Structure 1
Amino acid sequence: MSDIYNAAEIVLDQAVRLKDKIALIHSGGTMSYGEFMSLVNRSANAFSALGIGRGDRVGLMLKDSPLYCAAFLGLVKAGAVAIPLNPRLPVANYVSIFTAASLSLVVAEREHAAMLSEAQHLNATRMLASFGDGETLERLVVDAPEGFTAAPTHRNDPAFWLFSSGTTGSPKGIIHSHASCADGGKLLREVIGADEHAVVLHTSKLFFTYSLDNAFLGPINIGAATVLNESWPEPEQIVEQAAKYRPSVVFSVPTFYRRLLNLGAESLAPLRKVTHFYSAGERLPDAIALAWREAVGREIHSCYGMSESHTNALACFPGRQPLGATGLPLPGVEVRLLDTAGQAVGTGEPGVMWIRHPSLALGYDNPQTSAKAFSDGWFCTGDLFIRNGEGYYYHQGRADELLRIAGQWVKPAEVEEVVLADARLREAACVVVPDKDGFDRLALFVVGADPGEAKSIAEARCENGLPQYSRPKWISEVGELPRTPTGKIQRFRLRELLLGQISK
């Protein structure tokens, strides 16, 4: 039996059989599986003509489009390594990313050239525009031949890198294999039972792991159709697309579901025909889940994954969504909850989640960082969970945010849940901050529907709904919470904000 294993070949395995079926829905119309397979092959030839070969790493900072999807799989098919790049990072991060990845080439929209110039010059990285005048990827692909023989790669050869979203600091390079790449669509296949008749609509960008899996590699892997948005979609646009394309599955994040709810129940009528809604990126507040059920008549199901696992690790199955639950382990995923001494915790007790996952990354680009998080096939997520008697896992925040006050465990997630039960508060984030004496205390940041009222509302909610030891020492109203481009709250920035105020 041959040990040759090329993920692009596997992901596109159904393309010949489905050559006339729609694969991609985009601003220019639709693209069939046959047309997409041709575009992937021509992309692979275009990169090969540029001297890109096995193991070469190529950054992609393109709008979500057929060319982006074809470039990604074309690189994988050629044996190179595709690296999606987030266009909303601080400029300084690109210098470290270019250096860490030793990029042979970066393909980017012209609008990003100035932002990437420092990283390009310091690393002497070759740049190629995606569209426009002169030499561009688009022109090279148009002129490239359609036939391409996949590189003889193996299961554990690198296929793509991801850079973490930066919720806890600088992004880390995460190396994924061809086996991981080919596993795309785990939730679609094993949880929803979706097939080639599915239509997927999503609200996040493809450089975000959540969408790379569930809205690109996953749908293509099962022969479904997926809707691409070149720009960051607005709620009104998603409703229009739901009416036009009649998706069966919608993937979004809690903040976007809240924005959709702000349109009003009548405006959400096209979404009532969607069969499955999923949410990830951060914990779905109960208030949003209940409001969505009331407005749309459907449940938002939670799922949980990370850049290190590529595909989802936990999810709630259709018709089985306990309020507040993150989910159950997907088939083939093993989960442990451990305390600070590395011992398993009991039912209802908080523990740090370790996972063993079929599509787990090979590791980080930094071996020392890898050694701290990857061990004997297991990965430490750094996230805190409890497991109930029925086996459901409930996300409790980051492990470094759990603290004990007066002998009692205090969980920031519970504080957030209590204050967000009041509809006058739009968002809340509770973080652990040391006081002047070095003792860890809770700090709560809230965003109100009406500016100027959020702090007093939150104070009343905490006083009436929390035991004294769980109440935040500091409550601050802010205009908005700092977030990564993928929508996750940057809690470390909130800590920095308060520490700066305390030190004055």
Structure 2
Amino acid sequence: MEVLSSNTGSVNHTLTPNEINISGEADFFRLQRGISTNFNIVDEILHRSQSVRKDKCALSSSSGDINWGQLQKYIYQYQSVLAKLDIQPGDRVAIVAFDSSEMAVVVLSLMFRGCVVVMINPMVDTAGIVMQVSASKATTIITDDEYETSAFDGEIRRISLSTVSSLYDTLDLSAVDYRFKCNTTPFTPCFGVFTSGSTGTPKLAIHYHQDILVALTRYADQVLDIRRNDVVFCASRLSFAFGLQNMFLALLNSASYIFPPREIDTHSLRSVIEKGGTSIMFAVPRVYDMVLSGANDTGQRLSTLRLCISAGEPLSESTFKTWKAAFGLDIVDSLGSTEVFSTYISNFPGSSKIGATGKLIPGFQAKLLNSEGNPCRVDEAGVLWIRGASVITHYDGKAPDPELFQDGWFCTNDVFRQDIDNNYYFVGRNNDMIKINGLWVSPLEIEQTLLSMSEIAQAAVVSLTRADGSRSIKACIVLSEGKKAPTLSEIKDYCKASLAPWKHPHFVEYAKDLPKTATGKLARHTLRREVVSNSAL
């Protein structure tokens, strides 16, 4: 049997694929692609970029740009810095910092060294950061200078990015070993990302070096056609799987990558896109809406854009059509998840179907199962299960949950239907679905209808249980600025005009804002708890 060397801690162990808990799909991908048993994803970036013009921009942020010649040298030079800090291959290092070119160099250097880099969203509150740092099992945390040391466990060593930079400034560059190689394999743990926490406590997904290559060959090569002269911008930070994936897809294609500004608003977005010469844009739908809010001033100045990709939330028909009318480009909707890392369902440029999340990307397997656990018929809604070479087998630190992980399959808990042309349509989250008088109702369907009312800026729908055990629907609404609240009767009539007669709110509550996770998604579990505690039916 072929054996692989995997770094666990600072000691190298020789393990079989089964012992390092990889799926059969992952090992088949390695054999199919002819990936060496000595493999490092950052080394792959360096190898692919050897012929790139050295003065060409590789990474760009508000703090400055780093060209390809600098990046190639920095990754080797920073090995000496990491050695001075006693950060060794196999160590887990948590990163709590806003995106910047300098932070990305540290992340890439750690991965090149064979460390496991756990990305933590700097926008999470202090309690959340402390929880995630603890869950990461990191021995070292690297942060922006502004983070307080007192919040973290005394056993965890905290290093600021400025300390790392200062050590680099004192480095004897003549002593740098440019032949450094770390003993990593396709299945050496490479990075960890936490789930969004929109349905509860965030969970940590650890991915291997090979998983990034899966995203490149399965998704980017078949769907995106990223070129060396492309300038790629992603509005999601590296602490999100979507942001981390897209930086790697750009670098593996020797393109240029632009990081999002710390504060994302209409002005900063337009500035990044226009001044940076962005040709490919990745963003969640609400970011496209932000850009559109300044479309009257922007006009055709976004002419460098050639490809726009959306993920993370359902893309509304209104946003798709308005963007198309303003800039002449489709927004290519898609779906990925932290547990898979790679995008696995997507529309294709030039053939986007409005309302559809897309089609299954070749190389992944999918199945829709109904409430009885049977395969769904055409247009029957069911829970999506996904299988592929980059799918994790369990959450870090937890035993595999058979309700989520089965024989290489992962249960997304997203409810979809598939039409006769194999397009997937998002219906809602499985645990968000509401049964009214024996009929299933998708909160998303009602929410999207409510959001088409000019008076409504935000809307969320939750279910309530009446005293007799029956279920009802409550809409939580944030009004558009300066608008008068519509009555419950007006809301019901508006919903009934375009939806089935039972798909409407029975109650309505107006709020100043709706609870969000640190990723900006609606925190439904928090909203449900607040609504139930405030309601008496």
Q: TM-score range by the shorter chain?
A: over 0.9
1:150 positional shift:
2.5
1:73 positional shift:
1.5
In structure 1, C-alpha distance between the alignment counterparts of 2:393 and 2:42, rounded to whole Å: 18
CA contact (8 A) 2:386 2:409 kept: yes
After TM superposition, the structure 1 = structure 2 runs for residues 90-489 of structure 1, keeping only pairs within 5 Å, are: 90-113=125-148, 117-121=150-154, 124-131=155-162, 136-144=163-171, 145=176, 147=178, 149-185=180-216, 187-214=219-246, 216-368=247-399, 370-450=401-481, 453-456=484-487, 458-489=491-522
Paired residue for 2:39? 5
> Alignment partner for residue 67 of structure 1, among 80, 96, 102?
102
CA contact (8 A) 2:231 2:279 kept: yes
1:217 positional shift:
1.0
Residues 148/491 of structure 1: CA separation in 2 closer, same or farther (3 Å cut): farther
Letter in 2 for 1:490: A
Letter in 2 for 1:283: P
In structure 2, C-alpha distance between the alignment counterparts of 1:336 and 1:273, rounded to whole Å: 38
Q: TM-score, normalised by structure 2?
A: 0.87
Deviates more, 1:486-495 or 1:347-356: 486-495
1:190 positional shift:
1.9
1:264 positional shift:
3.5
Paired residue for 2:112? 77
Deviates more, 1:363-372 or 1:68-77: 363-372
In structure 1, C-alpha distance between the alignment counterparts of 2:274 and 2:315, rounded to whole Å: 25
Once the two structures are superposed, what CA deviation does each residue of 1:421-450 show, in whole Å capped at 9, x if it has no partner?
A: 233322322233433444333222223223
CA contact (8 A) 1:286 1:421 kept: no
Q: Secondary structure at the match of 1:465?
A: coil
5+ long unaligned stretches in structure 1: none
Q: Secondary structure at the match of 1:469?
A: coil
CA contact (8 A) 2:64 2:101 kept: no
In structure 2, C-alpha distance between the alignment counterparts of 1:205 and 1:289, rounded to whole Å: 23
CA contact (8 A) 1:436 1:502 kept: no
> Alignment partner for residue 50 of structure 2, among 5, 13, 16?
16
In structure 2, C-alpha distance between the alignment counterparts of 1:227 and 1:337, rounded to whole Å: 37
In structure 2, C-alpha distance between the alignment counterparts of 1:49 and 1:387, rounded to whole Å: 54
1:295 positional shift:
2.0
CA contact (8 A) 1:81 1:160 kept: yes
Paired residue for 2:28? none
1:202 positional shift:
2.1
Q: Secondary structure at the match of 1:453?
A: coil
CA contact (8 A) 2:335 2:343 kept: yes
1:242 positional shift:
2.1
Deviates more, 1:392-401 or 1:41-50: 41-50
After TM superposition, the structure 1 = structure 2 runs for residues 35-46 of structure 1, keeping only pairs within 5 Å, are: 35-46=70-81
Letter in 2 for 1:500: S
Residues 99/62 of structure 1: CA separation in 2 closer, same or farther (3 Å cut): closer
Residues 489/129 of structure 1: CA separation in 2 closer, same or farther (3 Å cut): same
Deviates more, 1:31-40 or 1:441-450: 441-450
1:71 positional shift:
1.4
CA contact (8 A) 2:79 2:113 kept: yes
1:167 positional shift:
0.5
1:455 positional shift:
4.4
Query: What is the root-mean-square deviation of aligned Cα atoms in Å?
Result: 2.2
In structure 1, C-alpha distance between the alignment counterparts of 2:467 and 2:316, rounded to whole Å: 32
1:452 positional shift:
5.7
In structure 2, C-alpha distance between the alignment counterparts of 1:148 and 1:417, rounded to whole Å: 55
Q: Secondary structure at the match of 2:48?
A: coil
Q: Secondary structure at the match of 1:8?
A: helix
Once the two structures are superposed, what CA deviation does each residue of 1:170-221 show, in whole Å capped at 9, x if it has no partner?
A: 111111111113334454322121221211122221111111111x111001
In structure 2, C-alpha distance between the alignment counterparts of 1:501 and 1:336, rounded to whole Å: 39
Once the two structures are superposed, what CA deviation does each residue of 1:366-387 show, in whole Å capped at 9, x if it has no partner?
A: 3335444221111111111111
Q: Secondary structure at the match of 1:364?
A: coil
Bigger helix fraction: 1
Once the two structures are superposed, what CA deviation does each residue of 1:125-168 show, in whole Å capped at 9, x if it has no partner?
A: 0000112xxxx011223344362522111122211111111111
CA contact (8 A) 2:122 2:129 kept: no
1:40 positional shift:
1.8
Residues 455/207 of structure 1: CA separation in 2 closer, same or farther (3 Å cut): farther
Deviates more, 1:381-390 or 1:83-92: 83-92
In structure 1, C-alpha distance between the alignment counterparts of 2:38 and 2:517, rounded to whole Å: 38
CA contact (8 A) 2:120 2:132 kept: no
Q: Secondary structure at the match of 1:428?
A: strand
Paired residue for 1:86? 121
Deviates more, 1:88-97 or 1:219-228: 88-97
1:272 positional shift:
4.3
In structure 1, C-alpha distance between the alignment counterparts of 2:426 and 2:407, rounded to whole Å: 24
CA contact (8 A) 1:289 1:299 kept: yes
The count of residues paired between Structure 1 and Structure 2 equals 495
In structure 2, C-alpha distance between the alignment counterparts of 1:439 and 1:13, rounded to whole Å: 62
In structure 2, C-alpha distance between the alignment counterparts of 1:40 and 1:265, rounded to whole Å: 43
CA contact (8 A) 1:79 1:150 kept: no
Residues 74/480 of structure 1: CA separation in 2 closer, same or farther (3 Å cut): same
1:19 positional shift:
4.8
CA contact (8 A) 2:145 2:160 kept: yes
Residues 160/418 of structure 1: CA separation in 2 closer, same or farther (3 Å cut): same
CA contact (8 A) 2:393 2:400 kept: no
Paired residue for 2:532? 499
